[in-house]
Amino acid sequence: MGRAGFLAHHQIHRDVAALLIQDVEASMVVWAELAKYSRSSLWRVNPQASQRFLSTIRLVPTLPVRSHDMTNQVAVVTGAAGGIGAATATLLRDRGWLVAGVDLTPSTADSSHIVDLRETHAPTRLFDDVEARLGRPTALVNAAGLYRANGLLETTSDYASDVMAVNVTAPILLSRDLIDRAVRAKSGASIVNVTSVVGRIGSHDPAYGASKGALISLTKGLASSYGRSGVRVNAVAPGVIETAMSRTIPADRLGHYLDTIPEGRLGRAGEVAAAVGFLLSAEASYINGAVIDVNGGLA
Ligand SMILES: NC(=O)c1ccc[n+]([C@@H]2O[C@H](COP(=O)([O-])OP(=O)(O)OC[C@H]3O[C@@H](n4cnc5c(N)ncnc54)[C@H](O)[C@@H]3O)[C@@H](O)[C@H]2O)c1
């Protein structure tokens, strides 16, 4: 086989590898091709080129987060004692994930971690603890959130920094620790941030609205920086969902939302969890940097 022949051969195998990257079970086919290839004359004539070819193929079976089988994969879900976090933890467990629930109070996840996410050292300790109890996480759902319906004139410096700490800084630091471990282990990883419709349209609570806008930017920035390392980072943007949080929305604003939402009702936590579960699944293997609205049509 000449150089042109080798390049064509190489390209075909890269294409096969790219297809099979979505289905680890089918990677057996790649290994069979590989065995044939290693017996070919090219292997003997040009071992360096063959080695480069092998390095592209070897990526295939090391991205379990893109597999269809989520059994015993570990996901960290923050806000797991709250409405959307608890619904997400339940849905993921039903799909075979081992779920580490993080919140200020216990959750019903496989392991429960009482953590105040305003503490900047919390993430590293948390990941060590999760790894010791369930195994190394390959998924993270940032669902913890702080909202107190404070208008601009009620916004204190403490409130603004608490909102930013829980809604933005904690997702940044947790993402850092998950991605660092995933890149070193070459395992792939997936992150879903729970932002909000107000991240796009603004909020009567400016600290909260700004924090959710920042989370959208974080999602897109990490997706673009780490996509080539097998890491997907996406977000869901709920509208108004029936949870403890939405019960603190001032009555006039809630009435306005109810008049405006085309579906004519508030959303349910399970409807947001379904979008999170989809984004973490193999079906979403080519979705990266996306923000999925779950808002009943609210503009
Ligand atoms: N409910 C809605 O209408 C709505 C709409 C858009 C976005 N969201 C977002 O969805 C996510 C989940 O909210 P929810 O509706 O389930 O509300 P929720 O109040 O039921 O849950 C939020 C959880 O975050 C936890 N949390 C808050 N501060 C924390 C801290 N310092 N450390 C650890 N945990 C902390 C709370 O204890 C709570 O369990 C939030 O990020 C919220 O901003 C909610």
CA of 79 to the centre of ligand 1 (A): 6
Contact call for residues 288 and 232 (beta carbons, < 8 A): yes
Atom of ligand 1 nearest to the CA of 242: 1
Phi and psi (nearest 5°) for 118? -75, -15
Q: Which of 243, 256, 261, 291 has most ligand 1 atoms within 8 Å of CB, for mutation?
A: 243
pLDDT tens figures, 95-134: 999 999 999 999 999 999 999 999 988 888 899 999 999 9
CA of 39 to the centre of ligand 1 (A): 57
Summarize the confidence of residues 124-145 as an average pLDDT.
96
Predicted confidence band of residue 41 (pLDDT cuts 50, 70, 90): low
Q: Which helix (H) or strand (E) holds 181?
A: helix 170-185
Q: Which pLDDT score, from 0 to 100, does residue 72 have?
A: 85
What domains can be seen in the chain, in order of their start residue? Answer: 3-62 (no CATH), 67-294 (3.40.50.720)
Q: Which of 71, 127, 125 is nearest to 100 (CA)?
A: 127
User: Would you put residue 35 in left (φ > 0), alpha (ψ -120 to 50) or beta?
Assistant: alpha
Q: Which pLDDT score, from 0 to 100, does residue 49 have?
A: 64
Summarize the confidence of residues 149-167 as an average pLDDT.
98
Q: Where are the beta strands (DSSP E) in the chain?
A: 74-78, 98-103, 111-114, 137-142, 189-194, 231-238, 291-294
Q: Taking each helix axis as running N to C, give the angle between helix 47-57 and helix 3-20, from 0 to 180 degrees, rounded to the nearest 10.
A: 10
Q: Which pLDDT score, from 0 to 100, does residue 124 have?
A: 82
Contact call for residues 137 and 178 (beta carbons, < 8 A): yes
- Among 12-21, 26-35, 69-78, 259-268, top mean pLDDT goes to 259-268
Q: Which residues line ligand 1 (CB under 6 A)?
A: 79, 81-85, 103-104, 115-118, 143-147, 166, 194, 196, 238, 240-241, 243-246
Q: Which pLDDT score, from 0 to 100, does residue 60 have?
A: 40
Q: pLDDT > 70: what percent of the chain?
A: 77
Nearest CA to ligand 1 atom 20: 82
Quick count: other Cβ atoms within 10 Å of Cβ 245? 21
pTM of the full predicted structure? 0.82
